[in-house]
Every structure is written in structure tokens, then in C-alpha cells.
Amino acid sequence: MTDLTKITLAGALDGLTAGDFSSVELTDAHIEACEAASGLNAFITPTFDLARDQAKASDERRASGTVGKLEGAPLGMKDLFCTEGVKSTAASKILGDFTPTYESTVSANMKADGMVMLGKLNLDQFAMGSANETSFYGPVINPWRNGEDLVPGGSSGGSASAVAAGLCLGATATDTGGSIRQPASFTGTVGIKPTYGRCSRYGIVAFASSLDQAGPIAKTVEDAAILLESMAGYDPKDSTSLNETVPDWRGACGQSVKGLRVGVPKEYTIDGMPSEIEALWQQGVDWMRDAGAEIVEVSLPHTKYALPVYYVVAPAEASSNLARYDGMRYGLRVDGENLADTYERTRTEGFGDEVRRRIMIGTYVLSAGYYDAYYLRAQKVRTKIADDFRNAWDSCDVLLTPTAPSAAFPVGRKINDPVQMYLNDVFTVTANLAGLPGISVPAALDGNGLPLGLQVIGKALDESTVFKAAGALEKAAGFTAKPEKWWA
């Protein structure tokens, strides 16, 4: 029998339909892989017993003729999604014992479609980080190695690591500044952040509400389309949810890109970027041209301001969102001398260093006297960044860029300057600010044998074209490399 952890989600769904194996068999194979991979630290809370029950129930449903979109597929859930009866920590101490009594809309959609949930995946604390090193539960290790342990990227590091290592057929993730696409690039997986408003934010622990979007990390572009079709959809419980139907994204994946206008933004070249990434970008341009696309040079003149805007807007929204953690109604409480002292002790002990740092920045830029200089100005520059994209769409249909300015780097690399760490998101953050869909597709290995991704950004609500272009890129790249299985 084939190794069931090596097949794609599409392959697994076909195999289940054909009766080649049951969901119980498929799930057991993945549980075994998870148990052997504890060294990767991809899970915060495994739910193997629940998964076995769900797999059994799925096989029974299938026998009675009910087959959902994800029927019987063992998947992972980023631990930022609230799951009823299953601890949901946001990789923090403050929510360390939080067990929601309700289900996020995204995970509820997937449950209704027959998902089997293997567990809750590790992440950067409150999704704040680009290396999965800010988790209260320890760093996640990338299955790809270069003689030493590497980070899987972040914040969806557990999701990326688990999919790359074959621990689950796909996983949910979230992306506020690049947290789906950068880890996908670091682990040789596919990750898409859809248009803002496609996936409901209800039940997702909030970081920066005007930027947060859910999306999948998967083994292939087609698998990402299957997952996103289940995750997305209108939800009245989220006031920013878009009342739009979910198209047939899976069907878009194999379509021809003949005549598609692919924009190449000249500002996406930064100092210190490895020449291999430049070369891969050019290779991607050639692949698209060979596939029949028309290449257009475009300009996004405010690109360099995207990260500074992000580091005003995101901490400002975070400082407001995280004000709810006061130790009164749920989460950790650390008793102090009086009420104010209890608040302070609870929050200081309950939040990690990076979370406290961002709360401090956000509080400062929103405080009296600085609001106009920092926050209001950042919101105006954000308008200019969104305008850059609107102008670009006059001459092109999608944009092609590198996903990240580097390959995966070593765990524990000392970074004293937080700005250096923030640069990881330089190519991804623009799509969050403008609310646009972006996907990372694994394209090649660098000289050290580590995966590198290319990113396709599309117009709002035009995921179909993004999937089409990503499918063409995937086909041309023919990326089939897998990490050597050193962890089991």
C-alpha cells in the first residue's frame, strides 16, 4: 500500500471516493506520522482521539451516501481558530487554559464539509512574528534542514511545518502581514491569503482586524483551492465578511494563462536580497512568458513605505484588540494588590515580549499628541499603497514577485533589532494593506537545498485568476523536492 502521508489532498479525496482506503486508515497513517514528529513541535494540542472518532463518523457518512467537500481528510488547525471543546491558546500563556464553548466559522465550515481535525497547530504568539519563535510553547522546527535547525517562518509556522512534513494533508492558517505566504515559501508548500473579507474572522483570535485573513497552507495549488472553497463564504457574524459566492477555484487551477498580463513591479528589488532570489524571480517571469502570458513592467512607487505603515496600523489595532485580556472574564488572572495591579500583573505575565512590545508601540501611536503624526498619517499612506495597485491593474491582471527576501534561517538567530525581523514581510505586507489575494508557490531550491517561493498577487475577489497563474507557475517549476525525513 502507498504511504498515505505522501499523497495530496486531491489524491486522498479521490482515493476515499474510489474506496482504496478509509478515512480511518488515512487518519491513522497521519496520526502515526504526527507521533513520530514530535521533535518538530508543530502541534500545541494534538486531538488524535477526536480525529479517530471523526474519521469513523466520516466513513459511516460516506457509506450512507453523504460526502462533503473535505470528507474524511485529516487536516491541521492553526491554534488561532477557536474550536468548541478544544483548547485554543493563540500560542500564549494568557489563553493557555482557554477552551472555547463555540466554533470559529472557518473551522465550522470545514467540519460541516467532513474534515477530520488532527490537532491545533503551533504559531507565533497571537500571530505576531515571522519565525514561529515567539510561541509560549517553544519554536517550531522546519522539516527542511541545512546542517542545523531552521525556522519554518511565521506566524503560521506549525501549519507550514506540518504540511511540509506530511503530518496532515493541509492546514488552516492566517495572514496579517505575510503569515501564510512567508512560511509557505520557507517550507516548500503552497499558501494563499484570499481577498480581505472572503473568510469570516468570527472565532479567530484577533490581531489586527483590518488586515487579518484566514487561508490554507497545502501541498499543491489545487489542494489550496479545495481547502479555500470550504473555508470561505459569507458570514453575518463578521461585519466585514463579503456577501459573495465562492467560485469554482479548483477548476481555475489548470486553465491556460495565454494572454494573461503579468505585471513585474520594479520596486520589489531590495538591498541585500540574495542573487538566487533575483534569478528565480526572472526564471518565474520566463516561465509565465513561455506559458503564453504577456509580461508588463509596472511601478508600485509606495512599496518601501508598506512595512512602516504596517508597523503603525497593526500594533495600533493589536493594542486595541488585546485590551480585552484583562483577567476578568476568561484567560489567566494574576492577583495583585488592587484592580489596576491585577490588570498589569495579568497582562505582563500573560503576554510574551513581542506581544508586549507591539502593544506598547500601538498604545503610543494612538496616544494623545501622536495620533495624527503616526496613526492618521499611516492610514493615508495606506491609501496611496492601495492606489498603486489600482493603477497597476490598468496594465496587468496579476503581479509576480518573490515571496520572501530570504530562505529559512537558523532557529535562535540573535536579532537585536526588531526592524530586521520585520523585513521578512517586505513583499507580502502590501497585499494585506490593500486587501488583495496573494499566493506563494514553491519554485526552486536555493544553493543550500532550501525551498524558495514566488508570489502571485491578484485583484480583489479575483482569486480565480490567482489560482490560474499559480497553477501555471507550479506546472512550469515542477517542484517535487521533499525534505529528508530526519525527524522520525
CA nearest neighbour of 231 among 260, 271, 204: 204
Q: Single out the residue of 435, 438, 451, 453 in contact with other proteins (rule: CB under 8 A).
A: 435
Q: Single out the residue of 21, 137, 186, 196 in contact with other proteins (rule: CB under 8 A).
A: 196
Residue 324 makes contact with other proteins by CB under 8 A: no
Residue with Cβ nearer other proteins (35 or 102): 102
Residues numbered 93 to 152 that lie near other proteins (CB under 8 A) are 97-102
Q: Single out the residue of 39, 138, 236, 292 in contact with other proteins (rule: CB under 8 A).
A: 236
Q: Which stretch binds other proteins (CB under 8 A): 73-81, 169-177, 248-256, 370-378?
A: 370-378
CB of 200 to other proteins, least distance (A): 13
Estimate the crossing angle of helix 23-36 against helix 9-18, to 10 degrees.
140
Residue listed under C-alpha cell 503579468: 262
Answer yes or no: are the C-beta atoms of 471 and 404 closer than 8 Å. no
CB of 329 to other proteins, least distance (A): 6
How many Å apart are CA 257 and CA 237, to the nearest integer?
A: 37
132: left (phi over 0), alpha (psi -120 to 50) or beta: left
Active-site option among 22, 92, 155, 185: 155
Residue 380 makes contact with other proteins by CB under 8 A: yes
First-last CA distance in the chain? 20
Catalytic annotation present for 104: no
CA nearest neighbour of 55 among 8, 21, 5: 21
Q: Which stretch binds other proteins (CB under 8 A): 65-73, 135-143, 285-293, 346-354?
A: 346-354
Residue with Cβ nearer other proteins (81 or 311): 311
Bridge partners (DSSP) listed for residue 43: 121
Q: Single out the residue of 120, 347, 459, 468 in contact with other proteins (rule: CB under 8 A).
A: 347
Residue with Cβ nearer other proteins (4 or 208): 208
Catalytic annotation present for 155: yes
How many Å apart are CA 126 and CA 205, to the nearest integer?
A: 7
Residue 458 makes contact with other proteins by CB under 8 A: no
- Other C-beta atoms within 10 Å of 33: how many? 23
Residue with Cβ nearer other proteins (264 or 361): 361
Give CA separation, 338 vs 249, 325, 335, 344, 385, in Å: 55, 17, 8, 10, 46
In this structure, the dihedral spanned by the alpha carbons of residues 382, 384, 388 and 394, taken in order and rounded to 10 degrees, is 120
- In the shown chain, the binding pattern of residues 203 to 222 toward other proteins, with x for contact by CB under 8 A and - for none, equals -------xx-----------
Q: In this structure, which amino acid lies at residue 179?
A: S
CA nearest neighbour of 288 among 482, 161, 53, 471: 471
Residue with Cβ nearer other proteins (145 or 333): 333
Q: Single out the residue of 345, 410, 445, 482 in contact with other proteins (rule: CB under 8 A).
A: 345
Catalytic annotation present for 275: no
Residue 364 makes contact with other proteins by CB under 8 A: yes
Bridge partners (DSSP) listed for residue 83: 86
Residue 319 makes contact with other proteins by CB under 8 A: yes
Residue with Cβ nearer other proteins (261 or 357): 357
Residue 18 makes contact with other proteins by CB under 8 A: no
Residues numbered 257 to 296 that lie near other proteins (CB under 8 A) are none
- Other C-beta atoms within 10 Å of 246: how many? 16
Answer yes or no: are the C-beta atoms of 316 and 366 closer than 8 Å. yes
Q: Single out the residue of 52, 69, 261, 384 in contact with other proteins (rule: CB under 8 A).
A: 384
Catalogue the active-site residues.
78, 155, 179
